Chain A
């Protein structure tokens, strides 16, 4: 067999998402990494394509009662309840911290009403951030608490409302708790989304049989981790075939091979979530592993791999 003669400097790992250039396709998933401050003791943030921050709202949210998490086989359930310090603290503390690094900043935004989202997105317009990621798995309090991301018309409407005021390109983060993920992707595309990311967590439940109650205080929570990866890969594949938007794929990525599955079915970017809890260095290991794969297989440009499995 012919051995590839590629070296590191022959490779192109850079990708564009909605006109924003990332040095490599690897980022971490919102909510698993804070704003990177704590993880920066373990990870050189300069090595990430982007840092995606924990969901932030226009005002502070206290989140859910504890226990907020439970371990499950090959995964976990979380019901943090989107606790966040509010945009003012976030803009004064977290954005200046991230600006010290040579990486892109993706701010994940949550809200309970359309007005909440618009308020937050407007305020972020004046901030030096690169992309916005809109978490539409939040319950819409004005529509009986059903998540914005569960009804196509509601998803399209919130996308259009956000796009109208956004100064940065908008990534709509899709919920997997729907009948047809392709339909949701088409809805946000119609609303004007610049990119999509998926999947958010799958709603699950765990019972603590010793305490004879729910393992997380919120009763239900979001399932994440390797256990959900096949579902996530399938959904990214479906969305890649349904819309003409760049995709950030996530759900159970623990290593380069996992990330490559997402890339090969059409993801331009990949995000590592729960795996950070098992090994805080996972993101950089994924970057290095993708590079090794490319050298081993004589792949010069990451674009040769994006969507190569039809």
Chain B
């Protein structure tokens, strides 16, 4: 189930240049949310009709935390809001990570229990990995290795990942950790694992898909596409799939419904 709610903002903060967080007090949404899912956030300005899809960064009781980068007028509006103000949101949306299922599927395919999960987050793809890291850590079935890519030394959320596993950092400007992107960090630090989870810009996901295929590792990646309904009705947000999709009867899956998390082998990016 997903819901439409008018929620109260309970906390906001600026985490890095242009990167903000917001905690939202929900009635039902947080209780049903999974890592990897997203919410639709609506503008209070009637000239902007379409929802802004934002990933769930943390789930805490009845609260959801989102972390977003100011990318245009809508996210700019959100960044100016304060605790006590209200927002319309819808969710939780998308498939998210069905952790138990994914871990047993991977074990089934590889014939080996998942002992180590590698989580890749690039830029504003870092936040959605946090709840996943927490749930993997809490389940105590495998080690968590997080590889986080940032532009510079503003390592937002990094210290929170430290609580849930081992963290490796790459920065584009080389100010901290490996200079370059997350895959450069993987190569330099010789990181391996039994399953990959990744969220970030498309070129990064493309490289991870190739890396996973070369090394025969199952990889789950979160895709982004422009959305209108956010619930699977309008067919705005499709991605190319290698198989005929059951819903569409063509090689297109809905990022907002069948995704945003896909097995990397099943999509063309």
A-B contact count (CB 8 A): 108
The reply to whether A277 and B252 contact each other, CB–CB distance below 8 Å, is no
Given A63-B252, A71-B50, A34–B225 Cβ distance below 8 Å?
no
Tell me whether A177 is interfacial, beta carbon within 8 Å: no
25 A-B interface contacts by CB (under 8 A) = A32-B234, A33-B233, A38-B229, A39-B231, A41-B1, A60-B249, A60-B250, A63-B235, A66-B239, A68-B235, A69-B234, A74-B46, A74-B47, A74-B49, A76-B228, A80-B236, A83-B235, A85-B248, A86-B249, A277-B49, A277-B234, A278-B51, A279-B4, A279-B88, A280-B231
Q: In the complex, what's the smallest C-beta–C-beta distance from B255 to chain A, in angstroms?
A: 9
Q: Interface readout for B151-188 with A: 1 if CB under 8 Å, 0 if not?
A: 00000000000000000000000000000000000000
The reply to whether A277 and B51 contact each other, CB–CB distance below 8 Å, is yes
Secondary structure at chain A's binding surface: helix, strand, loop or mixed? loop
Q: Which residues of A contact B229 (CB under 8 A)?
A: 32, 38, 276-277, 280
Tell me whether B247 is interfacial, beta carbon within 8 Å: yes
The reply to whether B228 and A78 contact each other, CB–CB distance below 8 Å, is yes
- Among B2, B4, B42, B235, max chain A CB count under 10 A is at B235
Q: Which residues of A contact B248 (CB under 8 A)?
A: 60, 83, 85
Q: Which residues of A contact B49 (CB under 8 A)?
A: 71, 74-76, 225-226, 274-275, 277-278
Q: Which of B204-238 contact A (CB under 8 A)?
A: 225-238
Q: Which residues of A contact B249 (CB under 8 A)?
A: 60, 85-86, 89
Q: A69-B234, A83-B252 are in contact. List 11 more A-B contacts (CB 8 A).
A: A32-B229, A41-B2, A60-B249, A60-B250, A66-B239, A69-B227, A78-B234, A80-B236, A83-B248, A85-B247, A85-B248
Complex: chain A residue closest to B247, CB-CB: A85
Chain B count of residues within 8 A CB distance of the other chain? 34
Secondary structure at chain B's binding surface: helix, strand, loop or mixed? loop
The reply to whether A70 and B47 contact each other, CB–CB distance below 8 Å, is no
The reply to whether B231 and A38 contact each other, CB–CB distance below 8 Å, is yes
Complex: chain A residue closest to B230, CB-CB: A277
Q: Which residues of B contact A70 (CB under 8 A)?
A: 226
Q: Which residues of A contact B31 (CB under 8 A)?
A: none
Q: Which residues of B contact A276 (CB under 8 A)?
A: 229, 233
- Among A38, A74, A75, A80, max chain B CB count under 10 A is at A38
The reply to whether B47 and A80 contact each other, CB–CB distance below 8 Å, is no
The reply to whether A66 and B238 contact each other, CB–CB distance below 8 Å, is yes
Partner of B226, one of A42, A66, A278: A66
The reply to whether A39 and B233 contact each other, CB–CB distance below 8 Å, is yes
Q: Which of A260-308 contact B (CB under 8 A)?
A: 274-281
Complex: chain A residue closest to B256, CB-CB: A38
Q: Once the chains are docked, how many angstroms separate the CA of A80 from the CA of B232?
A: 13
Q: In the complex, what's the smallest C-beta–C-beta distance from B121 to chain A, in angstroms?
A: 23
Q: In the complex, what's the smallest C-beta–C-beta distance from A80 to chain B, in angstroms?
A: 5
Q: Once the chains are docked, how many angstroms separate the CA of A281 from the CA of B5?
A: 12
The reply to whether A32 and B233 contact each other, CB–CB distance below 8 Å, is yes
The reply to whether A34 and B232 contact each other, CB–CB distance below 8 Å, is yes
Q: Once the chains are docked, how many angstroms separate the CA of A225 from the CA of B90?
A: 20
Complex: chain B residue closest to A210, CB-CB: B72
The reply to whether B252 and A62 contact each other, CB–CB distance below 8 Å, is yes
Q: Which residues of B contact A78 (CB under 8 A)?
A: 228, 234, 236
Partner of B47, one of A34, A73, A275: A73
The reply to whether A80 and B226 contact each other, CB–CB distance below 8 Å, is no
Complex: chain B residue closest to A90, CB-CB: B249
Given A32-B234, A41-B231, A281-B4, A66–B225 Cβ distance below 8 Å?
yes
Given A62-B252, A66-B225, A83–B238 Cβ distance below 8 Å?
yes
Q: Once the chains are docked, how many angstroms separate the CA of A209 from the CA of B233?
A: 29
Tell me whether A128 is interfacial, beta carbon within 8 Å: no
Q: Which of B20-75 contact A (CB under 8 A)?
A: 42, 46-51
Complex: chain A residue closest to B71, CB-CB: A210
Q: Interface readout for A126-155 with B: 1 if CB under 8 Å, 0 if not?
A: 000000000000000000000000000000
Q: Once the chains are docked, how many angstroms separate the CA of A31 from the CA of B237?
A: 14
Complex: chain B residue closest to A35, CB-CB: B233
Q: Once the chains are docked, how many angstroms separate the CA of A112 from the CA of B251?
A: 20
Tell me whether A61 is interfacial, beta carbon within 8 Å: yes
Complex: chain B residue closest to A276, CB-CB: B229
Q: Which residues of A contact B234 (CB under 8 A)?
A: 31-32, 34, 69, 78, 80, 277
Q: Once the chains are docked, how many angstroms separate the CA of A278 from the CA of B49?
A: 5
Q: Once the chains are docked, how many angstroms separate the CA of A203 from the CA of B154?
A: 44
Tell me whether A96 is interfacial, beta carbon within 8 Å: no
Q: In the complex, what's the smallest C-beta–C-beta distance from B260 to chain A, in angstroms?
A: 14
